Each structure stands twice: as structure tokens, then as C-alpha cells.
Amino acid sequence: MITIKDYAKQKGVSYEAIRKQIKRYEDELEGHLVKQNRFLMLDDEAVQFLDSKRSENPVIVYEQNKDEELEQLRHENKVLLIQMNTVQDQLGKVQQKLIAEMNTTKLLTQEKVQYLEYKAQSEQKEIQLKDLARARDAAQAKADQQEAVLRLKEQQIGALSAAKETAAASLKAADERIAQAEARAKAAEEEASRLKNRSFWDRLFNR
């Protein structure tokens, strides 16, 4: 018995990809999914069945996984950009407030304390902004690397498709040659049967 999460990790795919595969074959998997301690478990027959389906459709599985991974990377990048914009807006507001305070009449001790607090907040926001920028750059680098791997996979799939088409053409040609040979053999059998069943006069005149 194995959880869906562990099975997905074992196969190097997302949890969502396995969940969709189970949904697609829910009739065939009926009775092989067991709930234990709030976790849905796959028995050995379910694992073998899912493995066989993944082996039968490697291109489809690969395309599904590729789309899900790219969508996840795009979502993470989008969240980081939103967080960066939020921090930048907050930083702008803090800076505007600092400028307004500094342009007033002499700052009293309390105002100086507020200024220092605002300055500390501003510095903290800048640190957060830098951290988010680094996280965004790391996510972008990961996305670029993933896309390079996916392009290589697509090239490999293209080569497999071309080889499959070539093999299909060769098989078709072989089938045609076999059909022609069978037709010639059938014609020879019919001619032999005709010659065997000729009448005396046909044989005499070699007809």
C-alpha cells in the first residue's frame, strides 16, 4: 500500500497528475483505493495498473506533467511579482511619510523617534524587497532550466514519432508484398487445379 503523494514522488510527477490519472480510470480502480488515517492509499494492483497506463501513453503523461510544472512555475513567479509590487508600494508610502515629517517645522523629540522608526521600517522593507528579488530570480532560473529540459524532451519525442512513422511505412510495404505473394500463390494453385481437371480433349490439344 502506498499513498498517492508518495506514489507521485516515486514517479517524479506532481500529485495533481496522479490524481487526474486516478479520476480517469476510477471504474477500473474501484476496490483498489483504500482510505487509511485520512489518506487515500493505492494497493499493489492499483500501482501496477497505473504503471501500465503510464507506460502505454508516455507522450500524453509527459505533456500533462510538462504543462502542470510550467503552470506551477508561472504561478510562483506571479506571486513573487505581486509581493514585490506590494512591498514597493509600502516602501513608497513610508518614504512619502518621512519626507512630509522632515518638511514640517522643527522636529520634536517624539517626531525624531518616529522618523527613526519609519527609517527602520523602510530599511526592513528594502531587505524584504531584495529577498523577494532573489527568490524571483531563482524561480526564473528554474523555469529557464525546466524549459530547456522540456525542449530536449520534445526533440526526443519528435525523433520517436519519425521512427514510428518510418516503421509503419516499412510494415505497410511488407504487408503489400505479402498480399502480392499470396495472390500469385493463389493464381498458381488455381492454374494447377485447372490443368489437373482438364478433359481428355483439353489435354490432347493442350488447352
pLDDT tens-digit series, residues 167-200:
888 889 989 999 998 999 898 888 888 777 877 7
Q: Model confidence at 57, in pLDDT bands (50, 70, 90)? A: low
Question: Can you tell me the mean pLDDT for 34-53?
Answer: 88
Give CA torsion, residues 21, 25, 31, 36, to 10 deg: 20
Q: Is residue 92 located within the same domain as residue 25?
A: no
Q: Is residue 73 located within the same domain as residue 155?
A: yes
Length of the chain: 207
Question: Can you tell me the mean pLDDT for 156-170?
Answer: 87
Cβ burial 68-81 (10 Å sphere, 16+ → b, else e): bbeeebeebbeebe
In total, how many domains does the chain have? 2
Q: Is residue 86 located within the same domain as residue 127?
A: yes
Q: Is residue 93 located within the same domain as residue 129?
A: yes
Q: Is residue 66 located within the same domain as residue 148?
A: yes
Cα–Cα dist 93/117, whole Å? 14
pLDDT at 109: 82
Cα–Cα dist 98/92, whole Å? 10
Is 197 part of a structural domain of the chain? no
Q: Is residue 39 located within the same domain as residue 67?
A: no
Q: Is residue 165 located within the same domain as residue 67?
A: yes
Q: Model confidence at 59, in pLDDT bands (50, 70, 90)? A: very low
Q: Is residue 46 located within the same domain as residue 101?
A: no
If one counts every other C-beta atom within 10 angstroms of the C-beta of residue 186, the result is 10
Cα–Cα dist 158/37, whole Å? 44
Is the pLDDT reported for residue 94 higher than 90?
no
Q: Is residue 16 located within the same domain as residue 76?
A: no
Is 43 part of a structural domain of the chain? yes
**pTM, two decimal places:** 0.30
φ and ψ at residue 26, rounded to 5 degrees:
-65, -30
pLDDT at 49: 92
Residue range 62-92, pLDDT digits in tens: 555 566 677 777 888 888 889 988 888 888 8
Is 193 part of a structural domain of the chain? no
Q: Is residue 119 located within the same domain as residue 42?
A: no
Is 74 part of a structural domain of the chain? yes
For 69, the domain range is 61-171
Is 98 part of a structural domain of the chain? yes
Is 204 part of a structural domain of the chain? no
Give me the half-sphere count of Cα atoms (radius 13 Å) on the Cβ side of residue 185: 6
Question: Can you tell me the mean pLDDT for 14-30?
Answer: 88
Residue range 103-135, pLDDT digits in tens: 777 767 887 788 888 889 989 999 999 999 999
Q: Is residue 140 located within the same domain as residue 83?
A: yes
Is 22 part of a structural domain of the chain? yes
Instruction: Pull the grid cell for residue 52.
Output: 501500465
Cα–Cα dist 44/101, whole Å? 70
Percent of the chain with pLDDT over 90: 18
Q: Model confidence at 136, in pLDDT bands (50, 70, 90)? A: very high
The whole-chain average pLDDT of the chain stands at: 84
Q: Is residue 97 located within the same domain as residue 160?
A: yes
